[in-house]
Amino acid sequence: MKIDRETGLLGGVRWVSSPNQDERPAGVELDLVVVHGISLPPGEFGGAWIDALFTNVLDPGAHPYFAEVAHLRVSAHVLVRRRGEVTQYVPFHRRAWHAGRSSYQGRPDVNDFSVGIELEGADEVPYTAAQYRALARLLRALFAAYPALAPNRVVGHSAVAPGRKTDPGPAFDWGRLRKLLDRAK
């Protein structure tokens, strides 16, 4: 995987443009990666529902849960599906709307300085080997393209919105991810 710094796009992956993005504040450097977990409906995987949510076309009548979230204007930079397929929604140099009310190490508005990566999953459901491999490849590409990003600058959504968010949850194996990143050195 390689990122084109000019366009902010990851080569060789599926692209679906989300309208839920804007410019980052002037002079703000990318220096954090936030890992999320998402499933729509909750606990179910596959289908076009995540694309629909991130592009503001989720049908609130298609599932009872969708009525609660269809009005949200959210996005992530990237989604990693259960089989490791990657979809990009927002160029990395632009601000995706993934962290909501958030802060990290005293800095508010985490969306301003972070990349949001969604893993298709749920807090209590183990993530797949294909997802860990794809995430490690993606992170290595981000580290190569944006020097302020590094393994110690990768956190869960729960770390930037404690008490409000729990993802990627206890099923996410941070040690496994670190081993995959260490092997690439």
44 is catalytic: no
Which entry of 6, 23, 118, 120 is annotated as an active-site residue? Answer: 118
Q: What is the pLDDT of residue 21?
A: 98
Q: What is the pLDDT of residue 4?
A: 97
Q: Where are the alpha helices (DSSP H) in 18-64?
A: 49-54
Number of domains comprising the chain = 1
The span from the CA of 118 to the CA of 20, in Å, is 15
pLDDT per residue of the chain (185 residues) written in tens, 0 to 9: 999 999 999 999 999 999 999 999 999 999 999 999 999 999 999 999 999 999 999 999 999 999 999 999 999 999 999 999 999 999 999 999 999 999 999 999 999 999 999 999 999 999 999 999 999 999 999 999 999 999 999 999 999 999 999 999 999 999 999 999 998 65
The span from the CA of 174 to the CA of 150, in Å, is 14
The span from the CA of 108 to the CA of 91, in Å, is 22
CA-based max dimension of the chain: 48
Q: 43 lies in which domain range?
A: 3-183
* CATH classification at residue 24: 3.40.80.10
Rounded to the nearest 5°, which phi and psi values hold at 52?
-60, -40
Contacts of 138 (CB under 8 A, 6+ apart): 1, 10, 78, 80, 86, 117
Determine how β-strand 154-156 pairs with β-strand 32-38.
parallel
Q: What is the pLDDT of residue 6?
A: 96
User: Structure pTM?
Assistant: 0.97
